[in-house]
Amino acid sequence: MLEVITLDSGVRLALNSMDSVRSVSIGIWCNNGSVNEKDEEQGISHFIEHMLFKGTKDRDHFQIVNEIDKLGGQMNAFTSKECTCFYVKCLDEHFRTTADVLSDMICNPTFPADELEKEKGVVIEEINMNADDPDDVAFDILEDNVYRGMGMSHPVLGTKETVSSFTHDKLNEYYFDHYTRDEIIVSVAGSFNKDEVIDYFKDKFYNLKVRRDIETDKNVSELSDGGYIEVNKEIEQAHIAMGIRLFPASDSRRYPMMLLCNLLGGGMSSRLMQNVRVKKGLAYSVYSMTGFYSHTGLFVISAGVAKDKVDEALEAIKDELDRLKGDDISIEEFQSSKEQLKSSFIFGQESVQNLMIYNGRNLLTHGRCITPSEVLQLLDDISLDDINEVKKEICDYDRFNIINVTGNN
């Protein structure tokens, strides 16, 4: 059962109980990510995510991780374009102890100077690893072009220059200006006592500001023209990422687009996989995916191909987009894609961690939790007419930004 409660502090709780499990996942979300950063602050949200594990007023780094480890819990965090989440999964009997650690990290970070300097080196190495991964390079360049002129173009990791410039005072100021009670959500899923959870969190977070005074201009820039960019690296395979900007998560076309994306490149029976890999042998991996945010979205086709087969692979992808534009989709293909989406969604709902993430992200993005039954109904309601209408958004090959990270010949 799913319930959303707003505490007197202004913090919202998303509580989703599951009677059939013994574990619970707790996530503390903040409506802050790389889109909120100024150009000179790029990467600060991700860096703060790292630093919250490094010490509070009452715990040092070892105490934070050891308290969770000795209970058999699992703790982690992630930063994305629009949000940051700190989460833990544990047995239900350890709810209060693990929640103590998690809330202490959020409410009482100290950003210790010695840890800060060490963590700069860690994050810079993470940036270096990203630069060595051709898929990551292709995707970063793609986002930079698709979202040109928008905060969405900021890389989550930041740059070596911005990361090197962070100070204790800068982190402290940014954190307490952006991590405010009106922008925080606690998402809990699994086995728990509702009254205990409410009672625990009702007195938390009062040392944070009530509301955020800084507004983020989530501007939507003019659509960029399609184009082709080639980047040469010391690699044996070419990595292609091609994308086009879409509508935001709140748009009614979101679910039809997800179904269409799955039909085109979502699995082994998808059109791209069958044509580009199975029939023509041009790629080992080829797939399509969507990403939806509060104010924009993205459609991507990705492929790993031999560097001397790039032109053939792109031509095969273009053929599939042209076929999608010109041909009717069969009822059988349509129903198969719909069942795949429904199954994938239901499978995800059976994991306490996935459910915690699903509810937290929905509440941040939409202002409410979309129930599983609502999603399944939305998927059931998709018609072939909906698919034929939404496919106009992605069938024009010339509108795509195409990034080819390839080896030197």
Tokens encoding 194? 């509702």
Tokens encoding 314? 């792109």
Q: What is the pLDDT of residue 371?
A: 87
The CATH homologous superfamily for domain 2-201 is Metalloenzyme, LuxS/M16 peptidase-like (3.30.830.10)
Q: CB of 17 within 8 A of CB of 1? A: yes
Which one is catalytic: 37, 41, 49, 115? Answer: 49
The CATH homologous superfamily for domain 227-407 is Metalloenzyme, LuxS/M16 peptidase-like (3.30.830.10)
Of 5-14, 26-35, 58-67, 365-374, which gets the smallest average pLDDT?
365-374
50 band by pLDDT with thresholds 50, 70 and 90: very high
User: Could you report the per-residue pLDDT of 151-167, keeping only the tens digit for each?
Assistant: 999 999 999 999 999 99
Q: CB of 151 within 8 A of CB of 36? A: yes
User: Could you report the per-residue pLDDT of 347-371, keeping only the tens digit for each?
Assistant: 988 999 999 999 999 998 888 888 8
- Looking at the chain, the whole-number percentage of residues with pLDDT higher than 90 is 86
Q: CB of 271 within 8 A of CB of 264? A: yes
Q: CB of 24 within 8 A of CB of 189? A: yes
DSSP result, 34-84? GGG--GGGTTHHHHHHHHTTSBBSS-BHHHHHHHHHTTT-EEEEEE-SS-E
Q: Would you say residue 405 has pLDDT above 90? A: yes
Task: Tell me, yes or no, if 49 is annotated catalytic.
Answer: yes
Q: What order do you get walking across the sheet with 84-91 strand by strand?
A: 2-6, 12-17, 184-190, 23-30, 84-91, 74-79
Q: Cα-atom radius of gyration of the chain, to the nearest Å?
A: 22
**Mean pLDDT across 222-234:** 87
Q: List Cβ neighbours of 232 (8 Å cut-off, separation of 6 or more).
A: 406, 407, 408
Same fold, 2-201 and 227-407: yes
Q: What is the pLDDT of residue 409?
A: 62
Q: Would you say residue 213 has pLDDT above 90? A: no
**Mean pLDDT across 241-264:** 95
User: Could you report the per-residue pLDDT of 78-130, keeping only the tens digit for each?
Assistant: 999 999 999 999 999 999 999 999 999 999 999 999 999 999 999 999 999 99
Tokens encoding 226? 């399609």
Closest C-alpha to 116, from 30, 47, 17, 68: 47
Rounded distance, CA 226 to CA 229, Å?
Answer: 10
Q: CB of 175 within 8 A of CB of 50? A: no
Cross-strand bridge partners of residue 241: 302, 403
Q: What is the pLDDT of residue 205?
A: 96
Tokens encoding 22? 């013994």
Rounded distance, CA 352 to CA 349, Å?
Answer: 7
Tell me the whole-structure pTM to 2 decimals.
0.94
Looking at every residue in the chain, the average pLDDT score rounds to 94
Q: What is the pLDDT of residue 366?
A: 84
What are the residue ranges spanned by the domains of the chain? Answer: 2-201, 227-407
Q: Would you say residue 268 has pLDDT above 80? A: yes
**Mean pLDDT across 72-83:** 96
219 band by pLDDT with thresholds 50, 70 and 90: low
Amino acid at 287: Y
Distance of CA 66 to the CA centre of its chain: 28
408 band by pLDDT with thresholds 50, 70 and 90: confident
Inter-helix orientation angle 194-201/95-107, to 10°: 30
Q: CB of 99 within 8 A of CB of 26? A: yes
Q: CB of 56 within 8 A of CB of 27? A: no
